[in-house]
Amino acid sequence: MIDTARIDAIVVGGSAGAFTVLSSLLPALGPAPRVPVLVVLHLPPDRPSAAAAALGGRGQRVKEAEDKERIEAGVIYFAPPGYHLLVEPDRSLALAFDEPVHHSRPSIDVLFESAADAFGEGLLGVILSGANEDGAAGLGAISARGGLTVVQRPDTAEHPFMPAAALRAAPASAALSVDELRSIFAGFDTPSRDRGALDD
Amino acid sequence: MRALAHEVDLEIRLLLDAIYHRYQHDFRDYAVASLRRRLAQAVEHLGCLSVSGLQERVLHDPTAFPSVLQYLTVPVSDMFRDPWYFRAVREHVVPVLRTYPSIKLWIAGCGHGEEVYSFAIVLAEEGMLDRTLIYATDINPAGLEAAQAGIYPLDRFRRFTENHRRAGGKSSLSAYYRAAYGSAAIDKRLKKRIVFSDHSLATDSAFGEVQFVSCRNVLIYFNRTLQDRAVGLFHDSLCRRGFLGLGAKESLRFTAHAAAFAEVEHDARIYQRKA
Ligand SMILES: C[S@@+](CC[C@H](N)C(=O)[O-])C[C@H]1O[C@@H](n2cnc3c(N)ncnc32)[C@H](O)[C@@H]1O
């Protein structure tokens, strides 16, 4: 249904109600997904960045994104609270302290638009549950640059507003249940015979 | 992995070249992704149709450049922003600074001055301000002017006061400003020890000999090449075993100078020049 072979990177955005969905999706990627995964979750500002640690399945490499760090396949990066996360044209990561977008910093639009510029057709954008419209313009940008876009089916989301807005901005997006999203993520798991080389 | 070339990035490159040759402000080694967003806002705000249109304006209308500069720089700050940083300064840096007969600090990329006055207050509280000179530098003349004026909306002081307390403040913040008509002006006593000046980490050279450089939330706007240049300037400006403080999400890890500094406090991003 979705051609994951052409994908070089995944970006995921979500807000209210996305945390539980994400914690069921990430383990499906396996311990060493074939591509890097970049995540922006809106979290209350007092919530520490422990979110990243809490979400990683066993054996997964999950970390807070650092400024000017080179992106590595197999690693799941989270935007640090209070900073925008962006992808530079050379595909390294950058943080910024610019004004919030849609009252959010980190903002999903900021990550998605910069990642769309850096990865073009090789990008998969995913919007999960949420109660504001951050991410809609970003998903539209990914779609416009030829990337693949999917949203959590609004009627399955705890807060349908964000995926519904994203669907309007990127009408070519597939609207999928959490199970369907999980099986897409599982497509990035590397078969265990390839894994030896990555593990050591 | 090969980066994709886009027309907009080409236009940005040309604009930055034009700005450099016309105004000697060098943004050519800034991180591109956030610049792209801010320039898109500038294009809209100045009523241009594209980044190329903005370039034409900047070249032919000298009054346009100061407004574009406001989009190229991000002055967002607070007094005692990231309070744990100032706590760590008090704990690890102040005891060493105290041993010097005269103290020099350099605050690079001082924005609207919030960080500068925070340092002045820490030093006043520690009884060291009278023998300290603080150099506060930035590339944005409008920002420097605001910093020098030291006047902020009064409603920001609730947050400043809370930060000051969490930073281990030993006095009441209200002793350092005077409120009137919804604004608050920083006390002249603090200003006496501060010299504001125009200095670019991209084009200017090292700055006298100082015992402490604080450069926070400036390096994230640079690419690795320019980060290396800036940290090289800090290294050359610091005395032996002088201190360097960076922003909460900045580190020396990816710079060419990592080995020349020792980490003093990881979370506060405070380093010390080795030799
Ligand atoms: C986000 S503010 C940081 C303010 C304060 N240091 C803090 O951490 O809260 C970034 C500042 O860096 C300044 N800046 C940008 N490029 C610079 C350069 N090449 N040299 C010196 N300052 C620069 C900007 O004008 C802006 O005021």
pLDDT tens digits along B146-158: 999 999 999 999 9
Closest ligand 1 atom number to CA of residue B112: 27
| B251 is a domain residue | yes
pLDDT at A200: 40
Which amino acid is it at A142? I
**Mutation test of the interface with chain B: which of A35, A83, A90, A95, choosing the one with the most B Cβ atoms within 10 A?**
A95
B198 CA → ligand 1 middle, Å: 11
pLDDT at A199: 45
- The model's confidence at residue B76, banded by pLDDT at 50, 70 and 90, is confident
pLDDT at A194: 57
Domain boundary pick from B23, B43, B72: B72
The pLDDT tens digits of the residues spanning A167-184 come to 999 999 999 999 999 999
Q: Do B32 and A84 touch (CB under 8 A)?
A: no
Domain boundary pick from B72, B107, B134: B72
- The model's confidence at residue B214, banded by pLDDT at 50, 70 and 90, is very high
Chain A nearest-CA residue for B221: A96
Which domains occur in chain A, in start order? 4-187 (3.40.50.180)
Assess whether B31 and B94 both reside in one domain: no
Which chain A residues are within 8 Å of B227, Cβ to Cβ? 68
State the average pLDDT over residues B29-36: 96
Assess whether B122 and B203 both reside in one domain: yes
Statement: residue A193 has pLDDT above 90: no
Assess whether B31 and B107 both reside in one domain: no
One DSSP character per residue, A9-33 reads EEEEEE-TTHHHHHHHHGGGG-SS-
The pLDDT tens digits of the residues spanning A113-148 come to 999 999 999 999 999 999 999 999 999 999 999 999
Partner-chain residue, chosen from A69, A97, A110, that has the shortest CB–CB distance to B217: A97
pLDDT at B4: 44
| Residue A159 appears among annotated catalytic residues | no
Which chain B residues are within 8 Å of A109, Cβ to Cβ? none
B40 CA → ligand 1 middle, Å: 20
Assess whether B256 and B185 both reside in one domain: yes
CA angle B219, B223, B225 (to 5 degrees): 100
Statement: residue B108 has pLDDT above 80: yes
pLDDT at A56: 63
The pLDDT tens digits of the residues spanning A31-74 come to 999 999 999 999 765 555 556 556 666 688 999 999 999 999 99
Residues A109, A114, A129, A134: which is the catalytic one?
A134
Assess whether B63 and B90 both reside in one domain: no
Assess whether B89 and B63 both reside in one domain: no
Statement: residue A2 has pLDDT above 80: no
Any residues with Cβ below 6 Å from ligand 1, and which? A 97; B 73-77, 81, 108-111, 115, 138-140, 143, 200-202, 216-218, 221, 247
Distance (Å) from the C-alpha of residue B224 to the closest C-alpha of chain A? Answer: 7
| Backbone angles phi and psi of B65, in degrees to 5 | -60, -45
Statement: residue A15 has pLDDT above 90: yes
What CATH number is associated with residue B192?
A: 3.40.50.150
Assess whether B135 and B240 both reside in one domain: yes
Calpha distance B188→A31 (Å, rounded)? 59
Domain of residue B19: give its range. 2-72
Assess whether B119 and B248 both reside in one domain: yes
Q: Do A117 and B76 touch (CB under 8 A)?
A: no
The pLDDT tens digits of the residues spanning B122-181 come to 999 999 999 999 999 999 999 999 999 999 999 999 999 999 999 999 999 999 999 999
| Residue A177 appears among annotated catalytic residues | no
Residue B64: exposure state from Cβ atoms within 10 A (0-12, 13-18, ≥19): middle
Statement: residue B91 has pLDDT above 90: yes
B19 CA → ligand 1 middle, Å: 18
Q: Do B33 and A97 touch (CB under 8 A)?
A: no
Assess whether B139 and B26 both reside in one domain: no
Assess whether B177 and B237 both reside in one domain: yes
pTM: 0.93
| B78 is a domain residue | no
Q: How many Cβ atoms sit within 10 Å of the Cβ of residue A190?
A: 18
Residue A53: DSSP 8-state: H
CA nearest A64: which of A34, A106, A100?
Answer: A106
> Which alpha helices (H) appear in B46-192, and where do they start and end?
51-60, 64-72, 83-88, 94-97, 114-125, 141-149, 157-166, 188-191
Q: Give the ipTM of the model, two decimals please.
A: 0.91
Residue B181: exposure state from Cβ atoms within 10 A (0-12, 13-18, ≥19): exposed
pLDDT at A124: 98
Number of domains in chain B: 2
B205 CA → ligand 1 middle, Å: 16
Calpha distance B161→B184 (Å, rounded)? 13
| B24 is a domain residue | yes
Assess whether B138 and B7 both reside in one domain: no
Domain boundary pick from B17, B38, B72: B72
The pLDDT tens digits of the residues spanning B18-31 come to 999 999 999 999 99
Q: Do B3 and A118 touch (CB under 8 A)?
A: yes
Assess whether B175 and B258 both reside in one domain: yes
State the average pLDDT over residues B182-200: 96
pLDDT at A156: 97
Distance (Å) from the C-alpha of residue B67 to the closest C-alpha of chain A? Answer: 17
| B43 is a domain residue | yes
| B119 is a domain residue | yes
